[in-house]
Amino acid sequence: MTKSIKKRIVSLVPSTTESVCEVGAADRLVGCTRYCTEPDASLRAVPRIGGTKNPDKEAIARLQPDLVLANGEENRPEDIEWLQARVPTLVQTPRSIVEAGKDLRELAEHLHLLADAEPFLLRIEAQIAAAQVAALTGPPVRVYYAIWRMPWMTVNRDTFVHDVLRLCGAECVAADDPERYPSLEPVEAIARGVQLVLLASEPWAFDEAQRDELAASRTFGDARIVVCDGRDFCWHGVRMAEGLGRALAAIRSN
């Protein structure tokens, strides 16, 4: 039996919204969140249905979507359950690059656009191979990936961000902490041998001014401090085709 083409799509995941557009289905989007920002030109006319944590579920239902795209981490379980009971809902929550690649392929299959997704999938494989080769050129770098500042927070090994760090030759200083997003003060990061601090642009909006402040105060001791685009480390989907390379550069650049 031939699957029906999903012509009316609502996306609750910014990175998935980007993937939908880039594989050629932007014209099928009838709703997305206010955090769905890429690609800007393709999304200007798409109605917004709230945020990732507080979508207007009734508005989504009124849109009569053929498919709602959700993420078990970015969206609340109660919202996903409500939608699943009413409309077709695809939930993807990758915690590794391999899982993310499989999810992109699954998404493309749902959209009947696998051929359009293949170039991205091939480029992702090339990015993975390049990072694996680069990782052989030197010892792992001890990294603190900062996602929040009040309090200071980072990631453990049970996250997609950690898998990107691992691929790029980094050892996360909080990898073995029990919480997925543990609080970890700079003094403890120093005690754990941090060599590089990555200040992510999201969810906390770290910038160059904050980097300079932290460097001047030696908050992280002698560790090198770099501002990075958080989307390159936490947005799965087509973003990985270029983002993995930028993540590698952030970690390996001097």
- What pLDDT, in 10s, does the model give residues 170-224? 999 999 999 999 999 999 999 999 999 999 999 999 999 999 999 999 999 999 9
Query: What pLDDT, on a 0 to 100 scale, did the predictor assign at position 3?
Result: 56
Q: Is the peptide bond before 151 cis (omega within 30 degrees of 0)?
A: yes
Residue 158 Cα to chain centre, angstroms: 14
Look at residue 2 and tell me if it is in a domain: no
Look at residue 21 and tell me if it is in a domain: yes
Look at residue 13 and tell me if it is in a domain: yes
Same domain, 74 and 140: no
Beta-bridge partners for 227 = 199
Question: Domain holding 238: CATH number?
Answer: 3.40.50.1980
Query: How many CA atoms lie less than 13 Å away from 135 in the CB half-sphere?
Result: 18
104-139 pLDDT per residue, tens: 999 999 999 999 999 999 999 999 999 999 888 888
Residue 194 Cα to chain centre, angstroms: 23
Same domain, 127 and 14: no
Neighbours of 4 (CB within 10 A): 9
Same domain, 86 and 197: no
Same domain, 152 and 217: yes
Q: What pTM does this model have?
A: 0.92
Number of domains in the chain: 2
Nearest Cα neighbor of 174 from 192, 188, 201, 156 is 156
Do 141 and 223 form a contact (C-beta atoms < 8 A)?
no
Which residue range forms the structural domain that includes residue 233?
Answer: 120-252
The C-alpha angle 249, 252, 254, rounded to 5 degrees, equals: 105
Look at residue 67 and tell me if it is in a domain: yes
Same domain, 221 and 129: yes
